[in-house]
Each structure stands twice: as structure tokens, then as C-alpha cells.
Structure 1
């Protein structure tokens, strides 16, 4: 009996291996047929083994009966038969679990194949990830950079306090140098002294000229005109330092928002006979001499001083000038 039971166990294991292989290779269309075939093979093996056990016990083989798989072989037999029954149940349970697992895997595969990837969403996700990475990199870089704006403002405020100056904010529009000069000339009551015939305007009415020469309106236009006139009249002093023709250079001064620099400061200082002191972003002071002021007394020369604040980092557009006035 033990030899027969060992033989039966091996046959059941072999059959289970065949059933597992068949179900793994099954598709959605062939699954039902394979399941039926597997059930038939299990039933036939069970009937065959039952017949062999009866034959060994000297019993007359009976024809197969429906539901034979669910019947106990013999309640009165020894523990080996009970073990065989339990093993059959375990094999059947394992087959059911394997089938369920195979079905779930196939359903997942089918769902994955049937769902097309959304390329637009994928692109948007990649772009969002790239932007987030760039923002983080910029934040990291900013955190490691020196606060030039804050440092510059701190240095400038300390210099203003030491010199007894108060700052007058000028609009950062490209005309800041000329607007700052116009404001201080008006404060000193020196006048802008433009030549109306040289100011190019859409209208030549006197009221328009008065507006242009007013520091409260477009005073920077008058200062631009005076600077351009002085450079044209003293071209030998300025032309060697230009990188473009004199006429084109002075036309930009007169008619555009081109920023003013060192040459323009020199021309303005000499044209108006004023000393221009520029407080730099590092606290240094650059002095631009007014030229020939021998006809002025000491008090008048001291009066004709203009103070400017020159920034490199504080304003978004870049270099910028503000006016500086003596505290009352």
C-alpha cells in the first residue's frame, strides 16, 4: 500500500506541474478550454488511482460515479489513506490559487496593453520636473551668492549719513543721470540754460519749450541738449574717446534714452560750470571738475556742487543715478 501511495503522490505532482504549465500559457480565448481539460485530467487521475486502491484491497472495481472526487476513499482505512486524501485536497487548492494568480496577471497585462500612454501628460510632467529642478538650482545658487544689493545699499546709506546728504529717488528709465542733474540745478536755482533752437521737438511752440526745460516735467531733455551741444562744440576733447561717429553719438544723447556716462558727466560739468561728485557703490567719491571757474568767487564755487549716487546692483535695470541733496 505504501508503495502505491508513493506512486500516486508522484503522479499527482506530475499532473499538477502539467496543469500549471498549461494555465500559464493560456490566453483569454483559450482559458476555458484549458480549465476544462485540467479538470478532466484531475478527474481521470483520481478515478484511476481509486481503482488501483480498490484492486489492491481485493474489491471489485465499480464504474465511475459523478462527484467521486468529493467522496472519502474509506473512512475506516488507516492514516495513510487519510494523508493521501489531504494531499489531494492540497494539490487541488494549489491549482485553484495558481489559476487565480494567472488570471489576475493576465487581466493586468491586458489592462496595461489596452491603455494608451498620454504623451501630452508625460511631456507636461517632464517639463514640470525640469522647471522644478531649475528653480531649485537657481535657489541654491542664490543662497550661495553674496547679497550685493543689500551690501551696496548699506555702504551707500553709511556714506550719505557721513556726508550729510539725503537721497532723491530718480525714475530708472535711461534718463536718470540727466533727470538727477536737472533736479539739482533747479534746487540750486542755476537754471537749465538750454538753447531752444537746438531742442528737437514735434511742436515748436513756446509752451512746449517751457515744459521741456522744466525739471518738474521733462527737464532731462534740456540737460541732454546742453550736453550734446557742448560735445559738438568741443569735439577735440571728446571725439578721441568715442567708438562711433560724433554726429551719431550726440544724436543718441539728444533724442534717445541712451544712458549717460563719464563723457556726458564731463560735458555737463563744464557746460554748467558745476563740480559733480559721484558717490560710488563702494563708498568712494569720484569728482568731476567744472573746468574754468576763475571768474567765480570761493562762495559761488562751493555753492555750485552737485552730488550723485551711482548704483551698480540695487536697481533691476542695472547702473543707475539718484540725486543727493544737502540735508536742511
Structure 2
């Protein structure tokens, strides 16, 4: 009866985890619903999350079944007598606890190894090393769709003592792209057809910059640099150490970092700080 109870508890746990995953997936869909490119990435991410959960739950069920078989083994009390009894409840709990501890230690070791050699950690180390060469460090920005604009806003405060909100930066970025349509149109295409945007699609693109949390990219960085009339430097892990935008403008460059692997849904931007000025916040 106790063995069946263990399995029943685990099954209940698995059902709860599946419900939680579905809720998480729905939340991710809401974030990406206005971005066709992110929807494609999200489909692959959902499949990975579901497969990951399924594999882990199978391993947990196999582990419990194995523990139950151990719990029910007979032990010989006397080598000279063929007298066997089942493990006591206290012994069962002890064996189970030891088994769980071994599995937990193994999981920790495997995760540590994966983290060390994982793309996110390797990318972060490469970016940090490049920043150290210019006496800078990463200043973390939340991943909520506004990361580019928040990183630029932070840099404006740190480098120029200017306080410009994310909302204002989005508005001015959209206005600048719309007002300079001929300059930007050749670089904008439909993510599904790869054709250049139509006039209506261009207007929709500009509207999304203001009215949604759609991610910003190279187009938006160019618009920000031109609107603000200041250079922007993007530090990345691979390829050129930095990508420069707006070098024709005077004044200190706004230095942000570009991360391809920091979050599962796609690219992310962080800001930077001079190492000895770690306490500065905005």
C-alpha cells in the first residue's frame, strides 16, 4: 500500500507540473503574440519545454519504481537460518533518503557541468572579458521586451546625466523611423515572406514600437543613435568586439551589451558601468 501511495503522490505532482507548464506556455504566447518572428522561436521553445518535462517525469517515475523494488527486498537476519523479513518503515525511509541524496548530488554535478560549458555562460564570460579590457562591467536589465530602451535610458543617465523614459524613447524611435521611411524601408521585410514591407505593414511596424513591448534591434539602435545624436557601441561575444553606430556624433558613446543566449525567447540587451562606479544606479 505504501508503494502505491508513493506512485500516486508522484503522479499528482506530475499532473500539477503539467498544469504549471501549460500556464507558463500561455504566458509566453501572450508576450510573443504581436511578433511573428518570436512566434516561430516560441514554437520550438514550447516543444523543448514539453519534451524536457516529459523526460524528467519519466526518470522520476523510474526512480520511484526502483526505490520501491529496493524497499520490498527481503534481508537475511541470520546467515545460518533462512529467515527473511521485509524492511521496517524506518529502514525504508533511510534507504529512500540515501537514494534521493545520491540522485540530488548527481543532478547538481550534471547541472554545474552543463552551466560551465553551456552557451549562456560561455557567451557571458566572453562579453565580460571584452568589457574588462575597457574597464567596464555588465549592468543587468530586466528581460521584458523593453531591454534595449532601458539599457539606452540607463546609459543616457550614466554618461550624459539625461533622464529619458522608455516610453519617450519608444515614441521618438518610432517617429524617427516613420519620418525617414526611405532610409529604413530597404532593411525591413516580412518575417514570413521575406518580402519588403508594404506601406501598411510599415505603419504597423512603427505603431508596434510605441504600443507594445516588441523587441528592438539594429534598426531601432540606428534610429535611437540618430535621434539622440550620440554614438552607441554594442559589445558582443562573437564576431567584432563591438558594433559602432553613430560614430559621426560627438560625445561619449553609450555602451550596451548584446546577448544571444541569455534568455530562451531570444536576444537581450544589458547596460554597462565603469568597474569602480559599480554603485551608480538609475
Q: TM-score, normalised by structure 1?
A: 0.46
Structure-2 residue corresponding to 1:312 = 260
Task: Give 1:151 shift.
Answer: 1.1
Larger Rg: 1
Q: Distance in 2 between matches of 1:269 and 1:291?
A: 9
Q: How does 1:1-328 map to 2 (within 5 A)?
A: 132-133=57-58, 146-189=117-160, 191=162, 214-215=163-164, 219-242=165-188, 243=190, 244=197, 245-282=201-238, 284-290=240-246, 293=249, 301=250, 303-327=251-275, 328=277
Aligned 8 A contact 1:277 1:285 in 2: no
Q: Distance in 2 between matches of 1:292 and 1:154?
A: 31
Task: Give 1:272 shift.
Answer: 1.1
Alpha-carbon RMSD = 3.7
Q: Distance in 2 between matches of 1:246 and 1:291?
A: 27
Query: How many residues of Structure 1 are paired with residues of Structure 2 in the alignment?
Result: 176
Summarize the Cα distance change of 1:227–1:291 in structure 2 as closer, same or farther, 3 Å threshold: farther
Summarize the Cα distance change of 1:154–1:221 in structure 2 as closer, same or farther, 3 Å threshold: same
Residues 34-83 of structure 1 show CA distances to partners (whole Å, capped at 9, x for unaligned) of xxxxxxxxxxxxxxxxxxxxxxxxxxxxxxxxxxxxxxxxxxxxxxxxxx
Q: Gaps (5+ residues) in structure 1?
A: 1-119, 192-213, 294-300
Aligned 8 A contact 1:172 1:320 in 2: yes
Q: Gaps (5+ residues) in structure 2?
A: 1-6, 16-53, 63-106, 191-196, 278-282
Structure-2 residue corresponding to 1:101 = none
Higher relative contact order (CA 8 A, sep 6+): 2
Aligned 8 A contact 1:172 1:317 in 2: no
Task: Give 1:308 shift.
Answer: 0.7
Residues 162-207 of structure 1 show CA distances to partners (whole Å, capped at 9, x for unaligned) of 111122211111100001101111222364xxxxxxxxxxxxxxxx
